[in-house]
Amino acid sequence: MRSTLAHNQVAAKQFIKQFEAAFTTRSNGATWPKFQRTWKHANQYFRALFRPGSGKSIAGLATRVNADQELLERFVRESPWQSENVERHLRATAPDACQGADAALIVDGMGIPKQGDHSVGVTDQYCGASGGVDNCQVTINCTLASPGQHRNSDQVTWPLGSRLYLPKEWTDEDDSVYENQQEKEQYAQLREDAEIPASATYQPKYEIAADLVERVVDAGVDHACVLGDSNFGRRSSFREQLRNLAEPYVLEIETGKLHVVPESTEVLEPGPTDKRGPARQYPTVPDDVTPETATEIAEDLDEEVWKEVTWNEGTNGTLEGSFYRTRVRVCTNAYFNRVGEETGWLLLQRDHHSGTNDGEGELKAWICWGLDDATLDELVTWAHLRWTIEQYHRDIKQVLGADEFQGRTWRGFHHHLALVQLTQAFVANERLGSEPGAEGLDSFESVARQLVREVAIERLIEKHGLDPETAEAVGVDMLEGFTGWG
């Protein structure tokens, strides 16, 4: 760990100053009474999020920055500032280092386990944090990242948007989801208590993701493609929405589900009287053309067609694997030999250590659209860049307390998410500005801790008159003693 980042607390003030309008004006430019107090609390919340200490409830955050707990709580729960304005500015200020021909947008869900049933959007649903069905909230997040130039860990992630997923029980649009009238009335009360706006109707997770991507596209953020795991890749509607946006994608798919045929397969356009609909396309399937899944294709491949590809250097060695790609057309209904307009690369990866392609080793697959001229190495790099959003989720939870918000309202929850994204962006920006050491850039957590050390040392110098050497020794000793930082 380097002793300094060549930054101090002035950097934090300068960074958040860019966002002042987002916290003090509405989208139409109007402001509100006591908007200056709103700006003061925004600064307090921002500084408190990356300061050390266990538990980041409102009470804990207020204590960290000596703020009035009730006023800070009202700021995040009731204040009229709009989280979308913060996200809009984050999209407008994405660093050049995160953009470009190698960069990608990444969408993913984030589970937040909860004990009670009053937090907005909470219900029994799949939770990635616990690996199964759990009582939780789920957010859909969109980030920007580009590969680390020398090491996998040198990538820097930038937040672009986050939305809470509302299960159908919370939207009162489908009576069939309630076991009885009493349960329906209970959720009606929960919606009222959470102050969910009438505009917040039910949206599947993949539609929320597509909306976030569209906002990024409208903002002109420079990137090559969209990445997502099989929860998004298996959704034909999501892929279609991306194609409508002219957004190339590398999306993981379930290896035994999606059927494809070779791109060269003859396609017959349906006639005007075709009962299957004029929008459908389907191939003539002779005996030698059969729709196949990724698993079936891999089972028939000869050993020599697999190519070894290295995509980066990891903490435990070189990251490499065996890959194969082929041009395909996606079937919309394999049983009736129907296909659509979706064509592209089918990218396969087999378990590098299994040495087999007979189904014994792990097989992964991606459908890649709009990247016809990409090399195999480029497709592999993008496919494996998706891990960065998982690291992003760990960072904002473990360092910034993204999952510790205890408020129950729709507005409060999205206010908290916006401030977490803002704080993450600041730390990411400082990471980019630091000098890489022999092992590359310091981790997100290390940079956040170093920022806190610098603030503590400066405070000891300015407020208590200690000399720099003594201030550093005292500051580091206190932080390590009270927070467990080594």
DSSP strand pairing (249-253 vs 225-228): parallel
Structure tokens at 276: 């299957």
pLDDT at 436 over 60: yes
- 437 vs 401, higher pLDDT: 401
Average pLDDT for 300-327: 91
C-alpha angle 277-278-282 in degrees, rounded to nearest 5: 80
Mean pLDDT across 143-151: 87
Q: Which two tokens stand for residue 333?
A: 């209904």
Looking at residue 92, its amino acid is A
68, pLDDT greater than 70: yes
Which has the closest alpha carbon to 71: 48, 37, 106?
37
Q: How many residues does the chain have?
A: 486
Note the pLDDT of residue 64: 82
Question: Could you report the per-residue pLDDT of 37-53, keeping only the tens digit for each?
Answer: 999 999 999 999 987 66
| Buried b / exposed e along 192-223 (16+ C-beta atoms within 10 A) | eebebeeebebbebbbbbbebbebbbebebeb
Lowest mean pLDDT among 12-26, 143-157, 418-432: 143-157
Q: What is the pLDDT of residue 423?
A: 96
pTM of the model: 0.89
Q: Is 208 helix (H, G, I), strand (E, B) or coil?
A: helix
pLDDT, residue 483, reads 56
**How high is the pLDDT of residue 257?**
95
Taking the C-alpha atoms of residue 437 and residue 160, their distance in angstroms, rounded to an integer, is: 28
Q: What is the mean pLDDT of the chain?
A: 87
Task: Select from 111, 384, 103, 362 the least CA-distant residue to 248.
Answer: 103
Strands 317-333 and 363-369: unpaired
Amino acid at 244: N
pLDDT tier, 333 (very low <50, low <70, confident <90, very high otherwise): confident
Q: Report the range of poorest mean pLDDT among 140-144, 213-217, 395-399, 470-474.
A: 470-474
Q: Name the residue with higher pLDDT: 464 or 317.
A: 317
The predicted-structure confidence for 371-403, as pLDDT tens digits, reads as follows 999 999 999 999 999 999 999 999 999 999 999
CA distance 469 to 355: 57
User: What is the token pair recorded at 263?
Assistant: 């791109």
Does residue 3 carry a pLDDT above 80?
Answer: no
Of the given ranges (52-66, 124-138, 370-384), which has the lowest mean pLDDT?
Answer: 52-66
**Single-letter residue type at 243:** R
Distances (CA, A) of 20 to 37, 300, 453: 12, 59, 26
Location of structure tokens 């053309």: 289
Q: How confident is the model at residue 82 (pLDDT cuts 50, 70, 90)?
A: very high
Task: Give yes or no for residue 4 having a pLDDT over 50.
Answer: no
Position 442 confidence tier, pLDDT thresholds 50, 70, 90: confident
Amino acid at 429: N
Encoded tokens for 221: 């953020």
**Six-digit token string for 289:** 């053309």
Reference 87, options 174, 211, 216; nearest CA is 216
Q: To the nearest whole percent, how much of the chain has pLDDT over 90?
A: 63
Q: What are phi and psi of 328, to 5 degrees?
A: -140, 165
Mean pLDDT of 394-421: 94
Give residue 357's pLDDT band: very low, low, confident or very high (50, 70, 90). Answer: very low
Please compute the mean of the pLDDT values over residues 295-299 and round it to a whole number: 96
Confidence (pLDDT) at 6:
39
Query: What's the pLDDT tens digit per position in 212-271?
Result: 999 999 999 999 999 999 999 999 999 999 999 999 999 999 999 999 999 998 887 775
Measure the CA dihedral 186/188/191/197, to 10°: 180
Indicate the residue type of 216.
Answer: V
**DSSP calls for 346-413:** EEEEE-TTT---SSSS-EEEEEEES-TT--HHHHHHHHGGGHHHHHHHHHHHHTT-TT-----SHHHH
Q: Rounded mean pLDDT of 276-297?
A: 70
Residue pair 113/130 in contact by the 8 Å Cβ criterion = yes
Instruction: Read off the amino acid at residue 281.
Output: Q
Average pLDDT value for residue range 322-326: 97
For residue 426, give both structure tokens: 């600041």
Q: Does the pLDDT value for residue 486 go beyond 50? A: no
Nearest to 222, CA basis, from 158, 279, 285, 268:
158
pLDDT reported for residue 319 = 87
- The secondary structure of 53-72 as a DSSP string is -S--SHHHHHHHTT--HHHH
Q: Give me the helix-helix angle, 9-17 and 444-464, nearest 10°.
A: 110
